[in-house]
Structure 1
Amino acid sequence: MTDVNTALHLKGKTVWVTGAGKGLGRAVAVALSQAGARVAVTARTPGDLESLRCELAPRGGEVLVLPGSVADSAVVRDIVARIVAAGTGRLDAVVNCAGISPHFTRSEHVGDDDWRQVLDVNLQGTFYCCREAGRVMLEQSYGSIVNVSSVHASRGFERIAAYAAGKGGVEALTRALAVEWADRGVRVNSLAPGYFRTDLSAGLLDSRRGEGIVRRTPLGRVGEADELGGAAVFLASDASRFVTGTTLTVDGGWTAW
């Protein structure tokens, strides 16, 4: 019988987190580090990553800072090569948090550039990261990929067509890769957050629309960023070794209605 505490611990594991500079991505990186992982972090803003490294270093966390955009496949390829070269030669897990928030524009007014920008990061960027991390994991016959989706991959909401399409694509991609790579030891799951309080969501949550979101949430509040970390640790760790091709929703019951 496997000891759950041991399985949940990530000591000796190398885990890559994209979109780690702020918000949910940063909180996930902190949780993985606290679970013992050696964390490689990526975001477009180097200063945010250095701030994260300084936060984790006094706690003994080993952090590899690798700035870049996941929307550029060449950059993603280089980042993965640097992670492997800098550590144990392995990449044990990746949590793909990088994404662009909705523009909240009526669909008939969404411009081509806005549509492409959201899809380039949220869907194509996720695929690039899965592909490059997957190549390493397939070689080592082991790995866990966690793609961050959204409750809006499965629930409709106005003025977020590009965002919803991208996140729906992420969940479809997750299922396809899970089936394709399962026999070679690589698990692929998605994590679907509901509404969490971050700098980016503050404007929405403090509005009348935010009041409606809270009323619809059975737990009666929105999430705090650090409440997503446990779910990410579970999916990245061996505690979820028989879980693949699924979506874990963390939303305070918002989608239960």
Structure 2
Amino acid sequence: MTDVAEEMQKSMFDLTGKVAWVTGAGKGLGSAIAQALYDAGATVVLTSKTESDLTRVAKELDPSGSTGRTSVIAGSVDTPGFAADAVRRIVADHGQLNVLINCAGISPSFTRSERVTDEGWQRVIKVNLDGAFFCAREAGAQMLAQETGSIVNITSVHAVTGFERIAAYAASKGGLDALTKTLAVEWARRGVRVNSLAPGYFRTDLSSGLLDSKWGETIVAATPVGRLGVPSELGGAAVFLASDASSYVTGTTVNVDGGWVAR
């Protein structure tokens, strides 16, 4: 490959000058994706419920605090008005919004479906599906006005594969996968791409309880590569979907799952 070709290839993944909003950025997969976007040159706006988590992540991204490429907004995606307010603040502070990574989500206790309560079901759907839609709607409106943008919804391998005792979580991610396709078709000709990024099993605070239980060995054994994912391994796929490298990609799902869906 020539030097010119190498530079052209690098520029396709370059997010310099782009503003990316990452929900659920306070820990786990969200913070890992934020790191990857920041390393690719993006200005990264971090949101989650806990401001102390966001401050820590922002410090990890920019230890000196000198780049001006991080900002934080504390709040929950399912709170009425939060998404609209976040987009207003992002545009006021940075002038644009180019990328949304919809990563905020919760997982219920590992419960047999016949024992799931109304409250437990609704809580998961409210955050994982309602909250993601609110953020996509508000970010999408801004991107449509700009006639450009990329939305990446973090779904799950369980949007399309069954597993025991995760009915609400699987339903929320399956709904988000369907929403991804609908928004992609609706907005494609107006410059906004919408895709899903579906992780398999990664060790995070959210998953540690399950992975440390008797089910952990079963999950690893069912993963073709024979191990859990490392959060940083999700970053490359997120940068791809956020960047011009995926300019002809919309309405699709990128699985980063160690082969889980291929079983």
Contact 1:76–1:132 (CA<8 Å) still a contact in 2?
yes
Q: 2:117 maps to which residue?
A: 111
The worse-fitting range, judged by mean Cα deviation, of 97-106 and 23-32 is 97-106
User: Quick one: which amino acid aligns to residue 104 of structure 1?
Assistant: F
- Indicate whether 1:95 and 2:101 are aligned: yes
CA RMSD of aligned residues (A): 1.3
1:61 CA drift (Å): 6.5
Give distance in 1, aligned partners of 2:209 and 2:55.
26
Correspondent of 1:25 among 27, 30, 35: 30
Correspondent of 2:91 among 62, 81, 84: 84
Q: 1:143 maps to which residue?
A: 149
Q: Deviations for 1:83-134, whole angstroms, at most 9, x for unmatched residues? A: 00001x2100100000011321111111111111000000000100000000
In the TM superposition, structure 1's runs of 4+ consecutive aligned residues that sit over 6 Å from their partners are none
Structure 1 gaps of 5+ residues are none
User: Quick one: which amino acid aligns to residue 14 of structure 2?
Assistant: H
Once the two structures are superposed, the pairs formed by residues 57-206 of structure 1 within 5 Å of their partners are 57-58=62-63, 60=67, 62-87=69-94, 89-206=95-212
1:204 CA drift (Å): 1.8
Contact 2:48–2:73 (CA<8 Å) still a contact in 1?
yes
Correspondent of 2:55 among 46, 50, 56: 50
User: Quick one: which amino acid aligns to residue 15 of structure 2?
Assistant: L
1:140 CA drift (Å): 0.5
Contact 2:108–2:120 (CA<8 Å) still a contact in 1?
no
Once the two structures are superposed, the pairs formed by residues 196-235 of structure 1 within 5 Å of their partners are 196-235=202-241
User: Quick one: which amino acid aligns to residue 16 of structure 2?
Assistant: K
Give distance in 2, aligned partners of 1:102 and 1:23.
16
1:169 CA drift (Å): 0.3
Contact 1:33–1:61 (CA<8 Å) still a contact in 2?
no
TM-score using structure 1 length: 0.97
1:168 CA drift (Å): 0.2
Structure 2 gaps of 5+ residues are none
Give distance in 1, aligned partners of 2:153 and 2:90.
19
**2:169 alignment partner, SS class:** helix
TM-score using structure 2 length: 0.95
Q: Deviations for 1:145-199, whole angstroms, at most 9, x for unmatched residues? A: 0000000000011111111110000000000000000010000000000000112
Contact 1:148–1:190 (CA<8 Å) still a contact in 2?
yes
Contact 1:34–1:61 (CA<8 Å) still a contact in 2?
no
1:206 CA drift (Å): 2.4
Aligned residues: 256
Identity percentage over the alignment? 62
